[in-house]
Amino acid sequence: MGINERRTQSRFYYNVDAQVNIHGNPGSRENRWNASYTTQNICAGGAYLLTDRPLIVGTRLDVSFKLSFPEGGNIPRRSTVSVAGTVVRVEQNGMAVRFDNKYQITPMDGGQQG
């Protein structure tokens, strides 16, 4: 994708901490390990994670974000969103992760508003 890339989802420039469980390098049997990153932007289909040591393209990972949603909807106001994804692009300052279609939303603090 280049300068004229076409997006089907809105991208939000939003810095949020991302807890990541990395599956290891593609084709290897390395153990999983954990890391923390910050998003530069996020959308329903993926996120750009800031790092000076990006993983290699094809690396599988599980990502969790703690997000706040507007009150009055069907999603608890404070929730953890967990999704699996794949590193699809690396750059000097970070990496793009494409999310899988399956995700999980878990209420924080027992689902209490706050």
> For 101-112, how does the pLDDT look when each residue is reduced to its tens digit (9 = 90+)?
888 988 886 544
Sequence-ordered strand ranges (E) for the chain: 17-22, 33-43, 46-50, 60-68, 78-91, 94-107
d(CA 90, CA 96): 6
The one-character DSSP state at 71 is: T
The confidence score (pLDDT) of residue 26 equals 56
Decide the pairing of beta strands 94-107 and 46-50: antiparallel
Burial bucket for residue 1 (CB in 10 Å: 0-12, 13-18, 19+): exposed
The confidence score (pLDDT) of residue 79 equals 86
d(CA 68, CA 114): 9
Phi, psi of 93 (to 5 degrees): -105, 5
User: Would the pLDDT of 113 be above 60?
Assistant: no
CA 81, 54, 17, 35 dihedral sign is positive
**Mean predicted lDDT score pLDDT of the chain:** 82
Residue pLDDT, tens place only, 3-26: 445 556 677 888 899 999 998 665
The confidence score (pLDDT) of residue 25 equals 61
What is the CATH code for 17-111? 2.40.10
State percent of the chain over pLDDT 70: 77
User: Would the pLDDT of 2 be above 50?
Assistant: no
Q: Which residue has the higher pLDDT, 23 or 50?
A: 50
Tally of CB atoms within 10 A around 66: 14
The confidence score (pLDDT) of residue 27 equals 57
